Amino acid sequence: MSHRGALGVQNIFAGATLFLRRANQIYYSTPVSILFMKRIFTGGFLAMCFVVLPLCAPSNAHAATEICSTSAAASSPIAPNGPTILPNIFDPHGPAARMIHDLSWLVLGICAGLFLVVEGMIFYGVLFYRRKKNDQSKDEPRQVYGSNPVEIAWTIIPLLIVFVLALTTVRTIRSIELTEAPAGALKVVAIGHQWWWEYRYMDDSVPGGEVVVANELHVPINRPVWLRLESADVIHSWWVPALAGKMDVIPNHTNHTWFTAETEGLYLGQCAEYCGNQHAGMLLRVIASKPAEFDAWLQTQVAPTVNDTAVAMGRDIFQEYACSNCHTVKGVSDGQFAPDLTHLMSRQTIASGVAPLDPTTLRAWIENPQALKPGCNMPSLQLDPQELNAVTAYLLTLR
C-alpha cells in the first residue's frame, strides 16, 4: 500500500530533526560508526593539509630551484632583488590580480557552501533511505510526485545566488578590463612568437624612444604597465598569475592588458594558449625593481653595441652564417624572426626562460638548439668546435 502526498516544508524540518537524532545515535552507539566518523574527520584534516596549506605556503618556498643567476651581484641592474614569485593565483602582487583574488574567495565560499549542502543532502539520502538488510517486503515507499513549494524554492534560491554572483562579476570586469592606459603607465608592446616573447618599450620616458628586448620584461614597481599584445604567428596568451589574469595574444587583433607590480622580485608565468610544439617552453619572466634600478637597466639597453675586436672572428661567423638572418645585433645584423641579441648578456636566461644564460649552456644551445628545446625554430648550423667557441665568445661580449 503506498501513500501519496507532498514533500512540504514541515517534512524537511522533520527530516532534519530525524537526521540530527540519528547522527547522534550512530555516533554514540556502535564502534563501527565511530570509526566511520573518525575517518571522515581524518579525511577532512588531510584534505585541509593538502588543499589549504599549499595555498597558504610562502610564495618563495621553491625559489631556490628556479633559474636565478647568482653571478650577477645584487648591485647589478640585471638581477632581480626581491624573491622569486611563483605563478600562484592566490598570491597576488598587483591590483588586478588582487581584485580577482578577492572575488575568487567570495565565489569559492559560495560554491563550498553549496557543495556542502547538496552533498550533505545526497549523503543523507544514501545513509537514511537505503533498504534495510533484512527487508524482504514487497511494499513500495510512498510515491511523491513532486511539490510545487519545494520546487519553486529550489528554483528561486539558486537564481538569487547566481544573481549576486553575476552582479559582482560585472562590477569586477568593469574595474579590471580597461579600454585605455592608466595615467602614468609605462607602455610596452609584447609580441608573441613561436616560442618566445619580444618586448618593445615604446614610451616617451624611454631614452631614444624605443628599446627592444626578448623574454625578460623589466618593469618599475608601483607604476602601472600597459601592455599592447600582438602576435607574429599563432595565438598565445600572456599570463603572469601574481600580476594579472591572462589575456590572449592574437594575430591581426590587438589586445591590451595592464598590471602594477607592488613588490620587487622575479615574477614567473608562461604562455597559456596552446601555440604548437614548444608551448610548454614559452615561459614568462617579469622582473620588477625600484624605479632607479629600472632606469639603470634601461640605460644598459640603450647603450651602443659592444664591439670588441678580440672576438671579431665570432662576429664574422655570426654575420656570414644564418645567425644574422633571424637575430638583430644593432649595427651588425637586422634579422626579425628571433630575439634581439644586442644586449644578450643583460639577461639571465635563454630559449625563453628554458635554460640559464651561462657560457656552457649558451655554447650547447648554439651547437644544437633541438636538444635543449626540441621542436623550436632555431636550427643547428653544424658549426665546428672552433667556430662554436668563437661565436659563443662573441655573444658573451654583448653586454
Partner 1 sequence: MTTAPIHPTSETSIGFGSRVHSWVISVDHKKLGMMYIGVGLLFFVIGGLEATLMRLQLLKPLNDVLTPHGFNQMFTMHGTTMVFLVGMPVLLGFGNYLIPLMIGARDMAFPRLNAFGLWLFIFGGLLLYYSFIGGDGLYGMGGAPDVGWFAYSPLTSKAFSVGHATDYWILGIMVSGFGSMTTAINFMATIVCMRCPGMTFMRMPLFVWLMFTVGILVLLALPVLTGAQVMLLFDRFLGAHFFDPQQQGSVIFWQHLFWFFGHPEVYILILPAFGMICEIIPVFSRKVIFGYPLMVAATLSIAFISLGVWVHHMFSVGLPPWLNSIFAASTFLIAVPTGMKMFNWIGTMWGGNIRFTVSMMFATGFLVMFLFGGLTGIMLAVVPFDWQLSDSYFVVGHFHYVLFGGTMLAVFSAVFYWFPKATGRLLSEPMGKWTFWMFMIGLTLTFFPMHLSGVLGMPRRVYTYQPGRGFELWNLISSSGVPFQIVGVLLLVTNIIKSLINGRVAGPDPWDAWTLEWATSSPPPSENFPKIPTCTSPRPLWDRKHPEDPDCFYE
Binders of partner 1 among residues 370 to 389 (CB under 8 A) are 374-375
Query: Under 8 Å CB-to-CB from 235, ≥6 apart: which residues?
Result: 192, 248, 249, 250, 251, 273, 275
Kindly indicate which of the ranges 28-36, 161-169, 302-310, 357-365 contains the residues binding partner 1, using the contact rule CB under 8 A: 161-169
The residue (of 150 and 306) whose beta carbon lies closer to partner 1 is 150
Minimum distance from CB of 185 to partner 1 (Å)? 18
Residues 22-41 binding partner 1 (CB under 8 A) are: none
Q: What is the dihedral of CA 284, 290, 291, 293, to 10 degrees?
A: -80
Minimum distance from CB of 353 to partner 1 (Å)? 8
The residue (of 81 and 168) whose beta carbon lies closer to partner 1 is 168
Q: What is the H or E stretch that residue 362 is in?
A: helix 359-367
Q: What is the H or E stretch that residue 192 is in?
A: strand 186-193
What does the alpha-carbon distance between residue 359 and residue 353 come to, in Å, rounded to a whole number? 15
Minimum distance from CB of 274 to partner 1 (Å)? 4
Minimum distance from CB of 271 to partner 1 (Å)? 7
Q: Where are the beta strands (DSSP E) in 252-388?
A: 255-259, 265-270, 283-289, 328-329, 333-334, 349-350, 355-356
Kindly indicate which of the ranges 31-39, 163-171, 180-188, 301-309 contains the residues binding partner 1, using the contact rule CB under 8 A: 163-171
Residues 129-158 binding partner 1 (CB under 8 A) are: 129-131, 135, 140-147, 150-151, 154-155, 158
397 is a site residue for partner 1 (CB under 8 A):
no
176 is a site residue for partner 1 (CB under 8 A):
yes
What does the alpha-carbon distance between residue 82 and residue 242 come to, in Å, rounded to a whole number? 14
Kindly indicate which of the ranges 233-241, 310-318, 328-336, 358-366 contains the residues binding partner 1, using the contact rule CB under 8 A: 233-241
The residue (of 38 and 171) whose beta carbon lies closer to partner 1 is 171
Name the burial class of residue 311, with classes exposed (0-12), middle (13-18) and buried (19+) by CB atoms within 10 angstroms of its CB: buried
Minimum distance from CB of 391 to partner 1 (Å)? 26
177 is a site residue for partner 1 (CB under 8 A):
yes
Residues 263-302 binding partner 1 (CB under 8 A) are: 268-281, 283
399 is a site residue for partner 1 (CB under 8 A):
no
Among 46, 118, 322, 371, binds partner 1 (CB under 8 A): 118
The residue (of 47 and 303) whose beta carbon lies closer to partner 1 is 47
Helix (H, G, I), strand (E, B), or coil: what is residue 339? coil
Minimum distance from CB of 88 to partner 1 (Å)? 5
What does the alpha-carbon distance between residue 94 and residue 49 come to, in Å, rounded to a whole number? 27
Helix (H, G, I), strand (E, B), or coil: what is residue 394? helix
The separation between CA 182 and the C-alpha centre of its own chain, rounded to angstroms, equals 23
Residues 318-347 binding partner 1 (CB under 8 A) are: none
The grid coordinates of residue 136 equal 524482504
The residue (of 238 and 394) whose beta carbon lies closer to partner 1 is 238
The residue (of 144 and 296) whose beta carbon lies closer to partner 1 is 144
- Residue window 182-221: x/- pattern of binding to partner 1, with contact defined by CB under 8 A: ------------x---------------------------
Backbone angles phi, psi at 214, to 5 degrees: -125, 135
Residues 64-103 binding partner 1 (CB under 8 A) are: 64-66, 86-90, 97, 99-100, 103
Residue type, 236: H
The residue (of 239 and 394) whose beta carbon lies closer to partner 1 is 239
# of chain residues touching partner 1 (CB under 8 A): 104
Q: What is the H or E stretch that residue 171 is in?
A: helix 148-176
- Residue window 248-267: x/- pattern of binding to partner 1, with contact defined by CB under 8 A: x-xxxx-xx-----------
What does the alpha-carbon distance between residue 93 and residue 120 come to, in Å, rounded to a whole number? 37
Residue type, 78: I
Q: Are 186 and 205 in contact (CB under 8 A)?
A: yes
Q: Comparing C-alpha atoms, which of 203, 201, 247, 252 is closest to residue 230?
A: 252
Kindly indicate which of the ranges 49-57, 301-309, 358-366, 378-386 contains the residues binding partner 1, using the contact rule CB under 8 A: 49-57
Kindly indicate which of the ranges 22-30, 115-123, 204-212, 388-396 contains the residues binding partner 1, using the contact rule CB under 8 A: 115-123
Query: Under 8 Å CB-to-CB from 239, ≥6 apart: which residues?
Result: 87, 245, 246, 247, 269, 270, 271, 272, 284
What does the alpha-carbon distance between residue 265 and residue 19 come to, in Å, rounded to a whole number? 53
309 is a site residue for partner 1 (CB under 8 A):
no
